[in-house]
Amino acid sequence: MLKEWRVGIQLLLLFGLTWGCTPSVPAVTAPADVPVWQTFQDLPPTLQQELKGKRIQYVTHRIDMQLYDNLFVDPSTGEIGALSVPLLIGVQPSGSRFSRDGRYYVYTRQIGPPDVRIIDLETGKQRVLLKMEDITNVQAFWGAAISPDNRYVIVTVVGDDLLDLVRVDLQDGKFRRLFVTAPIAPETVDIAPDGMMVALCHYNAGHSAQLGLCLLDKEGQMLRELTPRSRFGSHLSAGRFTPDGMWVIYDREHRLYKVHRDGSHETQIAPCTVNGPAWVTATYALTACYVSIEPECYEMFAAALDGEAFWRLGYIEKICVDADGSRKDN
């Protein structure tokens, strides 16, 4: 089994590290008749409160923060801007996260040399959490996520025949490998308030490979599979927990789904997404959707977690890209 797992890891690294990076499933555009919230005040009062003071990443399949000088969105105002603290080159955008309260930002670097850093956005100070030489046989840090209480960071590490998680305490800087028992794929995990984690897991089925979401306990031990397995080449994103940690929101075949963390009640909640949720509140999931493929243009949408409503955030700027992936003005 271990040998098969290692072969699968090598395949993942060879073919772009995750299915989300090289999807073969045709992209889905948002329906043209989606109702629009033209201003922040149009949002339901509960959602307004959930979004105030928050920052979200605008990361899609083709667009990421690196292309935008580390772009973020303030969903309460629709303002799109850059982080005030310069990030070093080589940032892995899909492995970067804001904390739930918007105070911290953790990111990974792949070159120069690779490390994991965290920024306190209130003070502007940043520090190194993990370096290559800290973990034996590690070749790269692929992603990092901050616990909801800001007490620790979980880092995905990649090396020779190795995919594992490392927990770093933010107060004293101490860290330890978790030695996960799940066949995780190199994608950033998400952390629930009780420490449970959702990950993208890789499985071997004969000569083929499959992916599915799986639930890990706070020590990285496999608890259960959450979703049906998807074949190699299909599109599946890592999941994001709802604030209570009971539901996971994710992208499958460019549509947004939710599943209870006990593996039940998988339900489609939105007709489109580019690469999963950008932010999840107690009532809505925010996601970027294509509004056109040629030219490639994206807008931000909000899907009610009960599946009963889908709105476009009309006050957030539409973003389009040229063929080379660079941003262009609308």
pLDDT exceeds 70 at position 140: yes
| 3-class DSSP assignment, residue 296 | strand
pLDDT tens, residue by residue, 51-98: 887 888 776 555 554 444 456 778 888 777 766 666 665 565 557 888
Contact assessment for residue 102 and residue 54, using Cβ atoms and an 8 Å cutoff = yes
- What is the pTM assigned to this prediction? 0.85
**Domain range summary for the chain, segments of one domain joined by +:** 2-328
Average the pLDDT over 44-51 and give the result: 93
Residue 215 is encoded by which pair of tokens? 């639930």
Pairwise CA distance, residues 326 & 256, whole Å = 26
pLDDT exceeds 80 at position 164: yes
pLDDT class of 36 with cuts at 50, 70, 90: very high
Q: Which of 133-137, 190-194, 200-204 has the highest mean pLDDT?
A: 190-194
Q: Which residue has the higher pLDDT, 115 or 230?
A: 115
Number of Cα atoms under 13 Å in the Cβ half of residue 310 = 19
Q: What is the pLDDT of residue 84?
A: 61
pLDDT exceeds 80 at position 3: no
**Nearest-5° angle of CA 207, CA 198, CA 93?**
85
Residue 234 is encoded by which pair of tokens? 């299909």
We find that the CATH architecture of domain 2-328 is: 6 Propeller (2.120)
pLDDT tens, residue by residue, 222-269: 999 998 887 766 677 889 999 999 999 999 888 999 999 999 999 999
Contact assessment for residue 225 and residue 214, using Cβ atoms and an 8 Å cutoff = yes
pLDDT tens, residue by residue, 276-318: 898 999 999 999 999 998 888 889 999 999 999 999 999 988 8
Mean of the per-residue pLDDT values of the chain: 82
**117 backbone dihedrals φ, ψ, rounded to 5°:** -130, 155
What region does 253 belong to: left with phi over 0, alpha with psi -120 to 50, or beta?
A: left
Let me know if 314 is exposed, middle or buried by CB neighbors in 10 A (0-12, 13-18, 19+): middle
Q: Which residue has the higher pLDDT, 320 or 111?
A: 320
